[in-house]
Chains A and B, each alone.
Chain A
Amino acid sequence: MSDARPPVRDQRPPMRMREKLILRVVSKALIPFILLFALYVQFHGDFGPGGGFQAGVIFAAGLVLYGVIFGLSSLEHVISPRLVEIGVALGVLLFGGVGVACLVLGAGQEGVGNFLDYNVLSSHGGEGVDAHGQHLGILLVELGVGITVASSMLGIFYMFAGRSRPEDDS
Chain B
Amino acid sequence: MPIELILFLLLFATAVVIARLKDLFAAAMLTGIFSLVSAGLFTLMDAVDVAFTEAAVGAGISTILMLGTLSMTTRNEDQQPFRWLPLLVVLITGAVLITGTLDMPAYGDFQAPAHQHELYAGFIETTKEEIGHIPNIVTVILGSFRGYDTLGETTVIFTAAVGVFLLLGHRMKRRQDPASDAQPDEPSEAGGES
Contacts and interface: CB of A to CB of B under 8 A. Distances in A.
Q: Report whether chain A binds chain B.
A: yes
A57 B168 contact: no
A164 B22 CA distance: 22
A48 B183 CA distance: 42
A41 B60 CA distance: 16
A111 interface: no
B155 interface: yes
Interface residues of B, number: 64
B25 interface: no
A96 interface: yes
Interface of B: 48-49, 51-53, 56-57, 60-61, 64-65, 68-69, 71-75, 78, 126, 130-136, 138-140, 142-144, 147-148, 150-151, 153-155, 157-158, 160-162, 164-165, 168-169, 171-172, 174-175, 178-185, 189-190, 193
Of B51, B65, B126, B148, the most chain A CB neighbours within 10 A belong to: B65
A156 interface: yes
B64 A46 contact: no
Bin chain A's interface residue count. Answer: 35 or more
Contact of A159 (B64, B135, B169, B179): B169
Contacts of A168: 171, 174
Contacts of B51: 49
Contact of A155 (B143, B161, B182): B161
A50 B175 CA distance: 36
Interface in A33-74: 41, 45-51, 53-54, 57-58, 60-61, 64, 70-74
Interface of A: 1-2, 7, 9, 13-18, 20-21, 41, 45-51, 53-54, 57-58, 60-61, 64, 70-74, 81, 85, 88-89, 91-92, 95-96, 99, 116, 118, 128-129, 131-132, 134-135, 137-138, 141-142, 144-145, 148-149, 151-153, 155-166, 168
A51 B142 contact: yes
Contacts of B160: 152
B16 to A, nearest CB: 26
